[in-house]
Structure 1
Amino acid sequence: MRLDGFGLFVEDMGKMIRFYRDVLGFEIKEDENTSNVFLIKDGTLFLLYGRSDFEKMTSRKYEYIKGLNGHSEIALYVDTFEDVDREYERVIGMGAELVLEPATEPWGQRTCYIADPEGNLIEIGSFNKPFER
């Protein structure tokens, strides 16, 4: 078994697509007017699922977090500390919600947190060197 991708359940598909595509640079793989939208970022599949459609498909009702999602985060890496600050300013200027301004942590990472339009946490961080897998 291998990881294929990961996803979020969303209420406002159009708003979320625009945020991930236009603000964070994810590539959309199909029409925006579907209940499940596939996006790609750096070779990783990222799915947006319509919440109500998922509930209909599974014949179950789910409870969803309102406000900031404290259960998960999406982490994005940039090569330098300066890139953290630059990307933070850019995405805040494009409407991302501020959660934590850039700070250099005791473990040597410079990081900041923003939230998407539905409150999902997104970290932008760097160890001041190119990404290594």
Structure 2
Amino acid sequence: MVKFGYTILYVEEVEKAISFYENVFGFSRKFITPDNDYAELNTGETTISFASKKLAAQNLKEGFLESNPDNKPFAIELGFITDQVEELVQKATSFGAILVTEPTKKPWGQIVAYVRDLDGFLVEICTEVEG
């Protein structure tokens, strides 16, 4: 059996990153190391985790591309489903997220918006896909 366990975002400051996701999306803290270099959030069945770039560098000896709000986002996103897209986008930007795309109604009826979090990761905020 294989189960998708978690996604880890490599961030500058784990405490700052996890606080952003708690404040904006209402997730609760599952675990954080005493050194504040790794943390997990309770988000449902799949966990979002955060590791410091310093810890990532210890694990990935050949290095890695760092997410940075000044560069284009990676070709990957976190998607959060809500029936309050506009309100959640506003809340995210009030906590420091960068607006990428205003909420837009897609031809299939879904409302989709994009922001970048404090470390530049792309976040989709959308309604459920009806079908």
TM-score (norm 1): 0.82
The residue that corresponds to 2:73 in the other structure is 69
The residue that corresponds to 2:109 in the other structure is 108
Deviation digits for residues 15-46 of structure 1, max 9, x if unmatched?
A: 21111111222211123643211111123211
Structure 2 unmatched runs, 5+? none
Q: What RMSD over aligned residues (CA atoms) do the two structures have, in Å?
A: 2.1
Q: Is structure 2 residue 99 aligned with structure 1 residue 98? A: yes
Q: Identity of paired residues, percent?
A: 25
Structure 1 unmatched runs, 5+? none
How many residues are matched? Answer: 127
Structure 1 residue ranges, 4+ long, deviating more than 6 angstroms after superposition: none
What CA distance in whole angstroms lies between the structure 1 residues aligned with 2:102 and 2:65?
A: 30
CA shift, 1:127, in A, is: 4.2
* Equivalent runs, 1:20-99 vs 2, <5 Å: 20-31=21-32, 33-66=35-68, 67-79=71-83, 83-99=84-100
Deviation digits for residues 59-112 of structure 1, max 9, x if unmatched?
A: 332232433423210000013xxx111222222223221111111112221111
Matched to 1:24, the amino acid is: F
CA shift, 1:14, in A, is: 2.2
Note closer, same or farther for the CA distance 1:23–1:59 as it changes in structure 2 (3 Å cut). Answer: same
CA shift, 1:128, in A, is: 7.7
What CA distance in whole angstroms lies between the structure 2 residues aligned with 1:122 and 1:63?
A: 18
Alpha-carbon contact 1:37-1:49 (below 8 Å) kept? yes
What CA distance in whole angstroms lies between the structure 2 residues aligned with 1:65 and 1:31?
A: 21
Q: Which range moves more in the overlay, 101-110 or 23-32?
A: 23-32
Matched to 2:41, the amino acid is: L
SS in 2 for 1:30: strand
SS in 2 for 1:85: helix
